Structure 1
Amino acid sequence: MDHSTLALLERIFATVFPLVAIVTVGFLYARKKHTDMSAANALNIDVFVPALLFSVLSAKSFDLMRFQELAIGGIIVVIGSGLIIWPVCKLLKVNPKTFIPPIMFNNSGNLGLPLAVLAFGEEALAAAVVLFLVENTLHFTVGLYILDKKTNPFQVLRMPIILASILGLTWSGFHLPLPTPIATFIDMLGKISIPLMLFALGVRMTSVDLTHWKLGVWGAILCPLSGLLIAVPLQSALHLEPIQFAYLLLFAALPPAVLNYMLAERYQQEPHQVASIVLLGNISSLLFIPATLYFIL
């Protein structure tokens, strides 16, 4: 094995290991203490993640127009992967409402944000936030409409995550000043979110079962595969910068979001089947993510 290959493998290990370690700590702690993360998850969604989004989007260095093609690519990957999987549902004899959302909506928060930073450095956070915002907005509009057509998609405008994003974009768009103490305060709040997301992912994994493991295996394979099948040919149309194309490929290869299980439980859309898809999808990412990083890097 030559030196360059060894250095690449070391970089991939350095990227993946901290994520796996924090998730594992969360899993083991929850198994021993039977902890409940509902309050912490609510804090993360309502306070820490919005603070992170505002901190990144309101920065003077943030240029939304620089990421417009990347955002379009993210939208096409999310929607396109759902369209690809739609006919597969008939072959697998599974309800599309059960199978399509976990394939479409990936773990761009819990896993995508820290993964991008560890793989490409702090400069990748802005791009990762844009893709997270795209995926999250689509999840709470298109995703909820798939589960329940009576749901009003405009309720997404009341979410702290969306409000913080709009405020952050407004702040940077008008070049409004932000006093250093306040900026530091918001930045510190935001930095709580990423490790807490990973820890919560580990805790959540203790509460799902593998009753429907066969469907989970299909989901684990088709989630990153469908995303990459859409993302790879997009480069010829979008002409992204090489680094942004790398971000898009990494986004496309992410496993199903844990939120899919929570929403399936809320709408009683076969939550146990969705749980298997989410769990096995995130476990299989230990293979898919390093393989994708090897190709990208």
Structure 2
Amino acid sequence: MSIILTVLNITAPVFLLAAVGFVWVKLGFEYRVQFVTRMAMTLAVPCLIFTALMETKIDPAALADLSLAAFVAYALVMIVSFVVVKLGELETRTYLAPLIFGNTGNLGLPLALFAFGQTGLGYAVVVFAVMAILSFTIGIWMVAGSGSLKRVAQEPLVAATLLGAVFLWQGWETPDFLTNTLTLIGQMAIPMMLITLGVAVARLETAALTQALVLSLIKVAVCVGAGWGAALVFGLGPVATAVLIVQLATPVAVTSYLLAEKYGADAQPVAGLVVVSTLLSVATLPLILAFVI
């Protein structure tokens, strides 16, 4: 019973905040997703990442191992997902990227924070940064046929990760007034992202839910296996292993739907994957947390 209560205490705030966004839209209130997303990804999330890395007490060598493990885990997920798409005779541009990249920001960061505290958040932002780099390069190439290293370099969250890693490595800290300011800005990120997730899901229209359910289950199984295998290979500690698995197992990100719309892929099946995998995560993420805690 205690483990169930622990998992509920971790996951309930995440899904309740997403429910706030869902209900907000259903009540007919205005919510400008583009504005909120831009503020979160340009300002709040970079501040969250920088302060989390600067203030964490994690050994830089452990973070380096986690970074390598995350790259290897995503490579494994890419290979298996490609095989699944080909065996299922599915369109690569539409299905491959959503099966690989999960919602490591909106769901993964708060789950890591609630489950494992500041240390877990420090690990989670590293996996999130790895995902973002891959998503803005290989991910866009999968959907559009081209990637952009320049775009990666221009992303504030990438700069915040690199700068935070330098501060962590050197043991530097910003002045108290600046740290407090950055911390306050960063505290906006998690509630903003979770509420926006609920808003985005509420506005999506879905079809072919049976196929989306099957693919969502396959995604969870593949990602958990890849995360576990990479953690064993690199000898990650218990918390780093748990964070890597949870981050990889997060549901399909809403950004996958937006990229499909932007680059002319079939966006409707991706919308189905976003909704179904997110609903499925209400059951799968607590089970995964109960297993890794």
| TM-score normalised per structure 2 | 0.94
Does the 8 A contact of 1:116 with 1:247 survive in 2?
yes
1:91-139 deviations in whole A, cap 9, x for unaligned? Answer: 3221112111111111110000100111122221100111111111111
Distance 2:164 2:108 in 1: 20
In 2 relative to 1, CA 60–131 (structure 1 residues): closer, same or farther, beyond 3 Å? closer
In 2 relative to 1, CA 173–244 (structure 1 residues): closer, same or farther, beyond 3 Å? closer
Does the 8 A contact of 2:60 with 2:168 survive in 1?
no
Q: How far has the Cα of 1:171 moved from its partner? A: 3.2
1:65-94 deviations in whole A, cap 9, x for unaligned? Answer: 221222222112222112102122133221
Distance 1:167 1:35 in 2: 32
User: Corresponding residue for 2:162?
Assistant: 166
Distance 1:110 1:259 in 2: 11
Q: Which moved more, 1:212-221 or 1:11-20?
A: 212-221
Does the 8 A contact of 2:201 with 2:275 survive in 1?
yes
Identical residues among aligned pairs (%) = 25
SS at match of 2:31: coil
Establish whether residue 148 from structure 1 lines up as the match of residue 144 from structure 2: yes
Distance 2:53 2:8 in 1: 30
User: Corresponding residue for 1:247?
Assistant: 243
User: Corresponding residue for 1:3?
Assistant: none
Distance 1:212 1:268 in 2: 19
Distance 1:120 1:58 in 2: 17
In 2 relative to 1, CA 121–92 (structure 1 residues): closer, same or farther, beyond 3 Å? same
Partner residue of 2:43 out of 44, 47, 59: 47
Partner residue of 2:14 out of 1, 19, 33: 19
Establish whether residue 31 from structure 1 lines up as the match of residue 53 from structure 2: no
User: Corresponding residue for 1:222?
Assistant: 218
User: Corresponding residue for 1:70?
Assistant: 66
User: Corresponding residue for 1:196?
Assistant: 192
In 2 relative to 1, CA 168–232 (structure 1 residues): closer, same or farther, beyond 3 Å? closer
Partner residue of 2:178 out of 182, 188, 202: 182
User: Corresponding residue for 1:289?
Assistant: 285
- Equivalent pairs counted in the alignment come to 292
Gaps of 5+ in 1: 1-5
Q: How far has the Cα of 1:289 moved from its partner? A: 0.6
1:101 is aligned with what amino acid?
A: A
Cα RMSD (Å) of the superposition? 1.6
Distance 2:251 2:105 in 1: 11
Q: Which moved more, 1:69-78 or 1:55-64?
A: 55-64
| TM-score normalised per structure 1 | 0.93
User: Corresponding residue for 1:263?
Assistant: 259
Partner residue of 1:105 out of 96, 101, 123: 101
User: Corresponding residue for 1:212?
Assistant: 208
Gaps of 5+ in 2: none
SS at match of 2:205: coil
Q: Which moved more, 1:101-110 or 1:241-250?
A: 241-250
User: Corresponding residue for 1:91?
Assistant: 87
